Structure 1
Amino acid sequence: MISIRNLSKTYGDAEGGHRALDDVTLDIGRGDIFGILGSSGAGKSTLVRCINLLETPTSGTISIDGVDVTGYAGRDLARLRGSVGMIFQNFSLFQQRTVLRNVTFPLELVGMPKPERDRRALELLDVVGLSGLSERYPSQLSGGQQQRVAIARALANRAKIMLCDEATSALDTKTTVSILELLRKINREMGVTIVIITHALTVAESVCNRIAVIDGGRIVEQGTTEELFANPQSQALRELIENSRQVHGRAFPAPDQEGC
């Protein structure tokens, strides 16, 4: 569904600039919950922002459903972003808009009539478990509730892809579990392909069927979550597993041991 080929992104001039992505090639299948793992500064957020062209690649291509979208601009770019929802760590809600008006915002941009967009927003608020909260403001919600509003907004234009950039890192453990359960439900019942950017292996283990590990702007390994966690090949993933083990105990197997 998403095919990334030889993607590079350099900030600044070619000689003295920072190369955030270096020749990234990656395939994300329809219906995947795909994790992109890496430490801070590895390039994972730049990669996900290139998928919906919030960042313009320096070279390489991004194709969705066989269509090269890399050079999209104007209306084509607007349509692309309508089909690719995105949620962020800090929720990015409009504080002066109610929950309902936050969810209807992308529908206003495409000119959907008010009765229709309100109906769509209320349906989505029911999906994310916020029925009855449509007239509250973000400041009146918990962090988990705010992220649910952001998820509903990302789905408003019937997105077929959802990008999650560290979407649970500002949440406590219990709330993180509930948000990941919601993402699984959306993936299963609505057929939305989900790409999750995270440095937390517990997040990837609990929800992702496939993962790729990025380090220094390059993909250093990729495969099924179970295979990679059971037998990591890259130093970057070994370090992430060791760090997670120190924090969470034996949440992951030591390299070359069976289990996940």
Structure 2
Amino acid sequence: MIQLQHVCKTYGEGENAHHALRNVNLTINDGDVFGIIGASGAGKSTLVRCLNLLERPTEGAILYDGRDITGLSGRALLELRSQVGMIFQNFSLFQQRTVLRNVTFPLELRSEKGEAARKRAMELLELVGLADLAERYPSQLSGGQQQRVAIARALANNPKVMLCDEATSALDTRTTASILQLLQDINRELGVTLVVITHSLPVACKICNRVAVIDHGRIVEEGATAAVFGNPQSPVTRELLANDDMLAAIERDAEKGQEG
């Protein structure tokens, strides 16, 4: 379980201060696919980067299974990050490394090298459907393939949690669907908790069992995805859902889910 308690993040001081997060309180249960949605600049990426201390909160606490991580440093911080995988919009692969060596990189940081690291990497590439491309370089892959490599790399250390920061926003619709299916499979089969940062309501509707809506650094609404999208309480959420085509698509997805 991940708990955020009164988390604030401020950049700068005085009149020039920018309050990126304001008194955020959230609980993400083990096994959730938890979506954090909002417009550009709402604070989504700052929030997710606080979850592995790429950004440190200015105030508040972040608890993993009851343990406050906000003061971690050194080896303890590295251990935390090994248990929290992360994938990004721009894939963030090493261009001079092959697909295989991109996936082995987190293992090398933990002094796991040689055949053991290679075997683990190949297992993950098989999982994401790219075992036959192990010796290629990122520049030789499509965007969807690069994101699959990034997912394999994020799984290298058997993380309990995976943070997905706009992981599909650079992909076309068909590729997005395949990546979302892969993430759902990982959540279901490996038990990895997913935190999905997205500005796309269809993405959140497709994959998330719970969502929180963020606006100007504040959580304005949170709950089960169907409840939040089906009966929005916040003006911000209603504005996000204002497009009739979007609402129709969400309703169709909900009906299909009930039929299944």
TM-score normalised by length of structure 1: 0.95
Matches within 5 A, 1:25-64: 25-64=25-64
Unmatched 5+ residue regions in structure 1?
A: none
**Structure 2 unaligned blocks of 5 or more:** none
What is the CA distance between 1:16 and its match in structure 2? 2.8
Look up the equivalent residue of 2:38 and give its one-letter code.
G
Cα deviation digits, residues 59-87 of structure 1 (max 9, x gap): 00001111111111000100010000000
> What is the 5 A alignment of 1:53-132?
53-132=53-132
> 1:72 and 1:17 mapped to 2: Cα distance?
25
Q: Which amino acid is the alignment partner of residue 197 of structure 2?
A: I
Q: Deviations over 1:181-233 (max 9, x none)?
A: 00010001100000000010000111100000000100001000000111001
Q: CA deviation at 1:249?
A: 7.2
Question: Which residue of structure 2 aligns with residue 225 of structure 1?
Answer: 225
Residues 108-147 of structure 1 deviation map (CA, whole Å, 9 limit, x = unaligned):
1110131111100000000011111100000110000000
Aligned to 2:184: 184
Query: Is contact 1:21-1:47 (8 Å) kept?
Result: yes
Matches within 5 A, 1:139-218: 139-218=139-218
**Aligned-pair Cα RMSD in Å:** 1.4
Higher helix share: 2
Q: Distance in 2 between matches of 1:141 and 1:252?
A: 32
Q: Residue 61 of structure 1 aligns to a residue in which SS?
A: strand
SS of equivalent to 1:177: helix
Give the conservation status (yes or no) of the 8 Å contact 2:39–2:199: yes
**Secondary structure, aligned partner of 2:195:** strand
Which residue of the partner structure matches residue 24 of structure 1?
24
Deviation at 1:161, TM superposition (A): 0.2
Per-residue CA distance 1:45-102 (angstroms, 9 max, x = gap):
0000000000010000001111111111000100010000000000000011000000
Q: CA deviation at 1:236?
A: 1.3
**In structure 2, what residue type is equivalent to 1:205?**
C
Asked whether the equivalents of residues 35 and 212 of structure 2 are also in contact (C-alpha less than 8 Å), the reply is yes
1:206 maps to a residue whose letter is K
> Where do 4+ consecutive residues of structure 1 move more than 4 Å?
none
What SS class does the counterpart of residue 252 from structure 1 fall into? helix
Q: Aligned partners of 1:189, 1:15: CA distance in 2, in Å?
A: 49
Q: Which amino acid aligns with 1:38?
A: G
Whether the aligned pair in 1 keeps the contact of 2:160 and 2:193 (CA below 8 Å) is yes
Shift of 1:235: 1.3
Q: Shift of residue 15 of structure 1?
A: 4.7
Instruction: Please give the alpha-carbon distance, in whole angstroms, between the structure 1 residues aligned to 2:28 and 2:36.
Output: 11
Maintained 8 Å contact 2:48/2:163: yes
| 1:252, distance to aligned residue in structure 2 (A) | 3.3
> What letter is aligned with 1:195?
V
Distance in 2 separating the partners of 1:16 and 1:252: 40
- In structure 2, the partner of 1:251 is 249
Q: Number of aligned residue pairs: give it.
A: 254
> C-alpha separation between the residues in 2 aligned to 1:45 and 1:14?
23
| Matching of residue 134 in structure 1 with residue 121 in structure 2 | no
**2:125 and 2:152 in contact (8 A); partners too:** yes
> Does the CA contact (< 8 Å) of 1:241 and 1:252 recur in 2?
no
